[in-house]
Amino acid sequence: MNLTELTARLHAIRDHNDWQRFHSPKNLAMAASVEMAELVEIFQWLSEDESRRLPAATLEHAGQEVGDIVLYLLLLCAELGLDMEQVVRAKLADSERRFVHG
């Protein structure tokens, strides 16, 4: 996954629609949270087993919500000047240190 290419494509969509004025860090974080809530809604009231065996259409819907979340997080990183790959790798290394090697 080329995050630079994905971010450029997102910025092209943003610029084409004149949405940059809405893409403050606050708004992007809120938008990602709303999309996360939409993902959670898919699993609401399912048993543990049901949540692991989603019907094809529901699985596709879950994938769309995951995509929305990731895209908003890419935009948020761009607005904050964060390198998503770097922050993810740093967090993963911290988790490995704390929970595997700790």
What pTM did the predictor assign?
Answer: 0.94
| CA dihedral sign, ordered 46, 51, 53, 58 | positive
Token pair of 28 as six digits: 């992007």
Place of tokens 């019907």: 55
Under a CB-based contact definition with an 8 Å cutoff, are residues 6 and 70 in contact? Answer: no
User: Tens of pLDDT along 78-89?
Assistant: 999 999 999 999
Token pair of 19 as six digits: 């949405």
User: Tens of pLDDT along 45-76?
Assistant: 999 999 999 999 999 999 999 999 999 999 99
Q: List, in order of start, the domains of the chain with CATH numbers.
A: 3-99 (1.10.287.1080)
The C-alpha atoms of residue 102 and residue 98 are separated, in whole angstroms, by 5
Query: What is the mean predicted confidence (pLDDT) over 18-37?
Result: 98
Instruction: Report phi then psi at 46, rounded to 5.
Output: -85, 150
The C-alpha atoms of residue 89 and residue 10 are separated, in whole angstroms, by 22
